[in-house]
Amino acid sequence: MTNEMKKIQIFDTTLRDGEQSPGASIDPERKIIIARQLGKLGIDVIEPGFPVSSPGEFAAVQQISRELQHVEIAGFARAVKGDIDAAVKATQDAARRRLHLFISSSDIHLNHQLRKSRDEVVQIAREMVAYGKQFVDEIEFSAMDSTRSGRDFVIQLVEAVIAEGATVINLPDTLGYAMPEEMSELFRYVRSRARGGERVRYSAHCHNDLGLAVANSLAAIHGGATQIEVTVNGIGERAGNCSLEELVMAIETRKDAMQASTNIRIGEIYETSRLVSRAMHFPIAFNKPIVGRNAFQHESGIHQDGLLKNRSTYEIMDPEAMGISRSMIILGKHSGRHAIKHRLAEYGVHVAEAQMEDVYNKFKETADAQKIVSDNELIRIAGELTQTQPDPYVLTDLYVHAGTQRSRTATVTIRDEHGMEQTFAAVGDGPLEAVIHAIQQAIPVAAEFEDLELHSLSTGEDAHGEAVVSIIHEKQRFRGTSIHSDIVLAAAEAYVAACNQAVMTSGSRSVQASVQ
C-alpha cells in the first residue's frame, strides 16, 4: 500500500436527496441556513436542490449559489434540456459550479420506467452532456442504478459521456443493493476498461437499504473513487444515504487503513447534525453512530471505570473534537460507586465516605425504578441524605393555565441555595414558553433555551416521559434531564437542571455536601 494520502472530496446532497425523505421538506430560508453551516463544515461540493422542481427550489439554489462563493455548487438535472436550463440558470452566479446530470442504466429501469433501449439511453446521455457542456466546464454524470446494471453497458455509457466532456463519473448504488466487495470491483473495472477513464474523477453515491451505505462508500474509495456523496445524519429516500458524519469519522479514525483524508472541519459535525435534525423535524436515533445520544455515553460500571482511568479503553474517537459536550457517563442501575462519586464531584458536590453507601443504595433504588438517573436527581439524592441543598436552584412549585381561547400563563416558585423562595409569573404562546419565561425571571443565569427532546419511557395512563433540555450559556451548551408523568413539569425541571449545571460548572459556586 502506498503511503501517499489521498484527498477525498465530500459532495453533500442533504438539501436535494436528503430532502426527498418523506416529511423532510424544508422552506427555502432554512435551506440557506443549512447551506451556510455546510460551508462552515468544510463541504467541497453542495447540491442545494432540484432547480426545475419548483420556483421556491430554484430561488433557494440561486441564493445559495450567490452567497457561498467558496464552495462548488452542483446543479441537479435529469438528462432533459428543460432541467439543464433551470440548473444552469440557478447556479450561474456561483464562483465554482458543476452540472450534475443523471439517467438510468439498469435494464430494470430501462424496461419498466424509461421504456427505452440501451442505444436510445446512450444517445440521450451523449446529447445532453454535449448540450450542458456549452454552459459549464464541470459535468458530473450519474449512471443511475449502476450496481444493478450490466458492467459492459455501464462502460459503454461512461465512454459516451466522457467523449462529450463529462469530468466526473458517478456510479450510484441507487437501491443500496451492492456488497462492499462488489462496489470496489465495479470502480476498478470501469476505471481500467473505459476509454478515457483515466481523464475523469470518480464518485460514489450509496443508499442504505441494507445498512451498507458507509461500507460501500469506503469500498468505492479502495476501488478508486475520490469523491463520496453524503447526507447529514444519513437522511434520504427510504433508508437514507451514506451518512456524512459516519463516513468522515471512519476516514479520520482509520487513516492508516484508508490512506485518505477529507477537508471536513470535524469540530462542526455535531452542530451541523443538530441543525439538520431540527430543520427537517427528523429525530436522531439514540444509537446513531457519532451523533446519536448514546454514541459516547456509557452505563456499564466496567466501562465507566475504564473510561475514568483512560478514555481510550472504551472510546476510539474524542467526542469533544466533534463539538459534542462530554457527558460520556450515563448513570443507571449498572453504574458503580466510582462513577457516582466522580459525577457528583464534577458539580462540586463532595460526599463524605460515611454517607457514600447511603447515597449509592438510594441511587440503586431509583435506577431500578426508572433505569436512568439524571444528574439533577443524583444531586437531589445527595442533598436529601446529607441534609443540604447541592442544587443552586430548586423548582418547588409550578402552576400552568392553558386553554384554546386564552393566553397560556405559568407561575413558578424557585428556592435558591440560601433557602429563600420567590414566585414569578409569565405568559407565552404555549405552556412551556410561559414556564421558561417565568423561570428566567427567577434564575439570574437562566440561559438561552436551545432545544427540547421528549421521550416516552412507558405506556398507559401512568406513562412517564423524559425531558431533555439544552441551553446555551456563555457559548457553552449544557443539558438537563428530568423524568415525570407531567411532561411540562419534566421540561421545567430539566431546564432548571441545565441552568444549575451552567452555574455549578462555571466555577462560580462549589458545594460541599458532607456529614461530620
The CATH homologous superfamily of the domain defined by 6-280 = Aldolase class I (3.20.20.70)
pLDDT tens readout for residues 335-383: 888 888 888 887 778 888 888 888 888 888 888 877 778 777 888 888 8
- 193 Cβ contact partners less than 8 Å away, ≥ 6 residues apart: 155
Give strand pairing partners of 372: 332
| pTM for the structure as a whole | 0.83
The mean pLDDT value of the chain amounts to 89
pLDDT tens readout for residues 123-133: 999 999 999 99
Enter the C-alpha cell of residue 226: 475520490
pLDDT of residue 111: 94
**Confidence label for 512 from pLDDT (cuts 50, 70 and 90):** very low
Give strand pairing partners of 400: 410
Half-sphere exposure of 319 (CA within 13 A, CB side): 18
pLDDT of residue 446: 61
Q: Which CATH number fits domain 301-386: 3.30.530, 3.30.420, 1.10.238, 1.10.150?
A: 1.10.238
Average pLDDT over residues 79-87: 98
Average pLDDT over residues 56-85: 97
Q: How many helices (H) and strands (E) does the chain have?
A: 17, 16
pLDDT of residue 514: 32
Q: Please give the angle made by the CA atoms of 196, 201 and 203, to the nearest 5 degrees.
A: 125
| Residue 195 DSSP code | T
User: Rounded distance, CA 360 to CA 378, Å?
Assistant: 10
Give residue limits of the domains in the chain: 6-280, 301-386, 393-505
pLDDT of residue 299: 67
Lowest mean pLDDT among 324-333, 343-352, 494-503: 324-333
- CATH number for the region 393-505 comes to 3.30.160.270
pLDDT tens readout for residues 133-150: 999 999 999 999 999 999
pLDDT of residue 3: 64
Question: What are 335-342's contacts with CB under 8 Å, separation 24+?
Answer: 335/299, 335/301, 335/304, 335/363, 335/367, 335/373, 336/301, 336/304, 336/305, 338/301, 338/304, 338/305, 338/308, 339/301, 339/304, 339/305, 339/308, 340/378, 342/308
Secondary element (H or E) of residue 487 = helix 487-505
Average pLDDT over residues 312-328: 81
- With beta carbons less than 8 A apart as the criterion, state whether 46 and 15 touch: yes
Q: Tell whether the model's pLDDT for residue 112 goes beyond 90.
A: yes
Lowest mean pLDDT among 188-192, 272-276, 291-295, 437-441: 291-295
pLDDT of residue 364: 86
Secondary element (H or E) of residue 202 = strand 201-205
Half-sphere exposure of 436 (CA within 13 A, CB side): 20
Average pLDDT over residues 62-88: 98
Average pLDDT over residues 14-19: 95
Average pLDDT over residues 410-439: 93
pLDDT tens readout for residues 25-54: 788 899 999 999 999 999 999 999 999 999
Average pLDDT over residues 467-473: 87
